[in-house]
Chains A and B, each alone.
Chain A
Amino acid sequence: MMTSQQARSLGWAAVLAICFAAVIVLSFKVHAVKSEVLLAERQLIALERETLLLETEFQTRASQRQLAEWNTVEFGYQAPRAGQFLEGERQLASLGEVRQPGAPSPIRLASADAADTAAAAEAPMRSPVSGAKVTLASAAADKDAGSVFADAFGDFLIEASPIRPARAETPARGAKVAAAQGAGE
């Protein structure tokens, strides 16, 4: 027969056991979240490094010297002249002024009718040599040309792109190399 004293101590023991179990479960949970944070942090670091890599590549490809060379060979842009600048809001507003009475009529340039251009866009494409109608292979398909192209060449282009992060380093090997070199990164 269990005395009340014994029952009480048993109860306390049970409460203690439950608390202990809860603490263990909680600590597991905390640990799991911690390692998730760690993984996310690692991913962030990897992404930051990749961003740096890509950014640097863009800057290298678009260096001032390269841009100047392109401009010399391809574009031929000139420095803007004084007439291309606006003095301020007042000058900008003056461009939209209503024509004063007695002012000379503005020069009008010939323009195509908007309806014609819409019709032209819908007209079938014709071969410049034979004049026969041309149907593009992509137009025959129900999908648009962009998605057809992406389906056909997307993977190939991603494979061929020089901009890819190296997957070559596993964390364990990285740590070992870092330890071996002392300095790490």
Chain B
Amino acid sequence: MSSLAARMAAPLTFHGSTPVIPAGRLPGAGLRAQLLWLARVRVLWLLAGFALVALIALLRIATLGFGGQAPQRTSMEEALLPPRGEITDRNGAPLARAFPAYALWFDPAAMGDNGAPLVRTPAEVSRALKEIFPDIDEARMTRRLASGKSGYLRRRILPEEANRVFALGEIALEIPRETDRYYPQGTLAAHVLGYVVEDQGGKLGMEQVLEKRLSHPDKRTEPVALSIDLRVQGALEDELRKGMLATNALGAAGIVLDVDTGEVMALASLPEFDPNTAGAAGAVNVFNRATNGVYELGSTFKPLTVAAAIDAGVVRDLGRQWNAAPVPVGSRSIKDSHPLGASLNVPQALVHSSNTVTARVADELGPERMRRAMIDLGMDRRPFIELPAKGKPIWPQGNWSRVTNMTVGFGHGLAVTPLHLASAYAAMVNGGIWRPATLMKLAPADVPQGRRVFKESTSSRMRQLLRMISLYGTGKSADAAGYRVGGKTGSAEKAGAGGYNKTSLVSSFAAAFPMDAPRYVVVVVVDEPKGTIASSFQRTAAFTSAPIVGKLVPRIGPMLGVQPDDSRDVDISDLRYLVGGDKE
């Protein structure tokens, strides 16, 4: 204000102190008025300048007062928004979630005084850290702290450890909160879920398939529900693992499929990997035997052949006797694994798993209709499922010859994934409708219409036949009391270089339960089981994969809403007499 006063005072004093001016020296009245006006304008400008400064200062104070000092505010939704959406099972139990974790970060500039980054010497600090994390290399940590480079000292630490690091009082040791992709169930459903690589996104399983949905800014608040049931998956993996270890097998695969919707209730492939530790370096055992491995599944195809033959009207009279002598095909012949008599009817052929009769049935059906039935069941293309790991079937190209037709009839010469077989069995028992398998939970309205492959009557006949196999045939060890399991064993030699390998088998069991009103299909495949004490020194499916189903079904049945009942069963009274009188 002093300068203003001085500037204002100057013209005033000039004006006031010269009341008398010699007339001769007057420059003129006009000039004087002009000067006065100029002085006033200058004063006004000055005032305006001060007013502006004051206004700016006031505005600044107001903004500081009302908003500036308030801590940066984030809404609750924003703070709790996971960086990647959650994946749950069909009942909402989390399978993969963003997990708040802590890291240990070294920031040498944290002290902010251009001095030493640590209060104590690096050696002392690394000794203190060694007490908290016993596995660190003290010498290396000392060099690391002395180097003065910022970076992670440890990627993941527990809250308890974070507290102890904080108690050290070193400002340069920061504990940023980070979120991690975490799989609470560990290795469970690893092949279904896949894993996440930082900065690259999901890999392998549904993490890869749902990448966009899981990282979408709006949609990621809502968890994605898979069709998997956690408890069923746990039971399946448990039983598969036990069976695999008991028979000293290379691996095993299992599928539980809802026959009416195509939802996969459980899908497992062993050996598995741990998605929690899988990262940029990849993981071991990522090969998915259930959807990616193609196998000649052997005798499990026989019911499909018979179903196609019944459907086409080739098999009308189930009591008809078929020649069971070896079928000569060129220089070789199709034989049964053990002689079953001169002739068999179709139920007997299934119960005793006769190659010769099934080959003759397929022969009578003809290659064209057989091929059509297999195409209708989706055997000629990769399986229908969301997973990226889908195996291409080994499908006989061109028109099928008589030999091809007959060998496909008992499950050779056509290699498919276990999932193909599960979908085909679902179509066979659910009334004849084939539906694509899915890993997403479906609302009742979203269930695909599917396509009709078999007649309703064929389907109900097949239920009887499948039930008879597990009552009187090779599937006895899968017949869980009260659950009305029906299914077929399959033991196929693995195709290797130069023909079939006699010593390595793929044993499979495809089943459905409860057979009076089928709800679920279970397919179990054991890769190269060995004869052990647990399997009575047998490698075939009746001793390796069927017992797995027999133990699995009672565990999963009640969870899936199937109540065991000894007083119910599918009515097989019209076929019972056709299968030998020696049983029961």
- A residues apposed to B, CB below 8 Å: 27, 31, 34-35, 38, 41, 44-45, 48-49, 52-53, 56, 59-60, 63-65, 67-68, 79-83, 85, 162-169, 171, 173-175, 177-178, 180-181, 185
Per CB-CB distance, the 8 closest pairs between chain A and chain B, nearest first, are A64-B234, A82-B482, A168-B166, A79-B554, A59-B184, A166-B162, A82-B564, A166-B159
Taken together as a complex, chains A and B put the C-alpha atoms of A52 and B179 apart, in Å, by 12
Taken together as a complex, chains A and B put the C-alpha atoms of A64 and B102 apart, in Å, by 26
Q: Please tell me if B178 contacts chain A, counting CB pairs below 8 Å.
A: yes
Contact of B564 among A59, A64, A81, A168 (CB under 8 A): A81
A residues less than 8 Å from B6 (CB atoms)? none
Residues of A contacting B: mostly: helix
Contact residue range for chain B?
35 or more
Contact of B175 among A67, A162, A168, A178 (CB under 8 A): A168
Spot the interface stretch: B71-79, B127-135, B341-349, B450-458. B71-79
Given known contacts A80-B564, A166-B175, A168-B163, A56 and B188 CB-to-CB distance under 8 angstroms: no
In this complex, which of B72, B80, B176 has the most chain A Cβ atoms within 10 angstroms of its Cβ?
Answer: B176
A residues less than 8 Å from B182 (CB atoms)? 56
A residues less than 8 Å from B554 (CB atoms)? 79-81
Min CB–CB distance A88 → chain B (angstroms): 11
B residues less than 8 Å from A171 (CB atoms)? 71
Min CB–CB distance B346 → chain A (angstroms): 31
Residues of B contacting A: mostly: mixed
* Contact between A45 and B79, CB atoms less than 8 A apart: yes
- Which residues of B in the span 73-113 have a Cβ within 8 Å of any Cβ on A? 73, 76, 79-80, 83, 93-94, 97, 99-100, 102, 105, 107
Given A31-B66, A65-B237, A168-B166, 9 more pairs with CB closer than 8 A: A38-B73, A45-B76, A53-B159, A64-B235, A80-B554, A82-B482, A82-B565, A166-B175, A177-B176
Taken together as a complex, chains A and B put the C-alpha atoms of A71 and B159 apart, in Å, by 30
* Contact between A35 and B175, CB atoms less than 8 A apart: no
Min CB–CB distance A129 → chain B (angstroms): 42
* Contact between B233 and A64, CB atoms less than 8 A apart: yes
Taken together as a complex, chains A and B put the C-alpha atoms of A169 and B163 apart, in Å, by 9
* Contact between B159 and A164, CB atoms less than 8 A apart: yes
Q: Which residue of B lies closest to A28 (CB)?
A: B65
Given known contacts A65-B185, A185-B179, A59 and B174 CB-to-CB distance under 8 angstroms: no
Min CB–CB distance B34 → chain A (angstroms): 39
B residues less than 8 Å from A27 (CB atoms)? 66
Given known contacts A56-B184, A85-B563, A169 and B177 CB-to-CB distance under 8 angstroms: yes
- Which residues of B in the span 210-253 have a Cβ within 8 Å of any Cβ on A? 230-231, 233-235, 237-238
